C-alpha cells in the first residue's frame, strides 16, 4: 500500500511535466520561483530527466530528443510568503496573468493565478489567519 516516501525531500505525490525542450522550463522555474536543480541526467537516446526543488516541494521535468511531440502540462498551487512578489517575478520571467493578486482569492489571505509560457497554470496563495480554512 501507499506509505510515506523514503526519498529525502519528496512527498508521496510529485508532479512530473513533460516538455519538448527542458532548458526554457528550467530557466523559467529558476527565475519565477527560485527553483533549484537537485538532479539532472540525460538518457542514452538524449532525453532529459530533471528534478527541481521549489520551497519544500519537488517537481520533475522530462523531455528532449523527441520524447514528446506536445507538452504534457499541469496546474499547480504554490504557497508563498509574498504573493505579489512571486507574481511579479513570474510575470517578469514570461508568465501571463490569469488572475491578478487579490485578497481572499481561493479562500486564502491573498492569491493570484498565472500561465507559464509552456501552458502550465500556477496558482499562488498565502495561507494565514485570513484564510477561510485557517486553523490556529
pLDDT of residue 18: 93
Closest CA to 115 of 126, 107, 123: 123
pLDDT of residue 136: 62
pLDDT band (50, 70, 90) for residue 9: confident
Instruction: Give me the DSSP letters along 99-126.
Output: EEEEETGGGSSEEEEEE-TTS-EEEEEE
Closest CA to 86 of 135, 50, 122, 60: 122
pLDDT of residue 30: 99
CATH number of 16-126: 3.10.180.10
Q: Given a cut of 90, is residue 135 above it in pLDDT?
A: no
Residue with cell string 527541481:
52
Sheet holding 121-126, edge to edge: 75-79, 121-126, 110-115, 96-103
pTM for the model: 0.90
pLDDT digits (tens, 9 = 90+) for 104-133: 888 899 999 999 999 999 999 999 887 787
Amino acid at each position: 500500500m501507499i506509505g510515506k516516501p523514503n526519498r529525502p525531500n519528496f512527498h508521496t505525490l510529485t508532479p512530473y511535466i513533460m516538455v519538448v525542450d527542458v532548458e526554457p522550463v528550467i530557466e523559467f522555474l529558476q527565475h519565477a520561483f527560485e527553483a533549484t536543480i537537485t538532479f539532472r541526467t540525460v538518457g542514452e537516446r538524449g532525453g532529459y530527466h530533471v528534478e527541481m526543488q521549489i520551497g519544500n516541494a519537488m517537481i520533475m521535468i522530462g523531455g528532449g530528443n523527441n520524447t514528446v511531440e506536445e507538452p504534457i502540462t499541469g496546474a499547480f498551487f504554490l504557497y508563498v510568503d509574498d504573493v505579489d512578489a512571486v507574481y511579479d517575478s513570474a510575470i517578469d520571467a514570461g508568465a501571463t496573468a490569469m488572475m491578478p493578486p487579490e485578497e481572499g482569492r481561493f479562500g486564502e489571505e491573498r492569491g493570484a493565478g498565472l500561465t507559464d509560457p509552456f501552458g502550465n497554470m500556477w496558482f499562488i496563495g498565502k495561507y494565514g489567519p485570513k484564510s477561510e480554512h485557517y486553523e490556529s
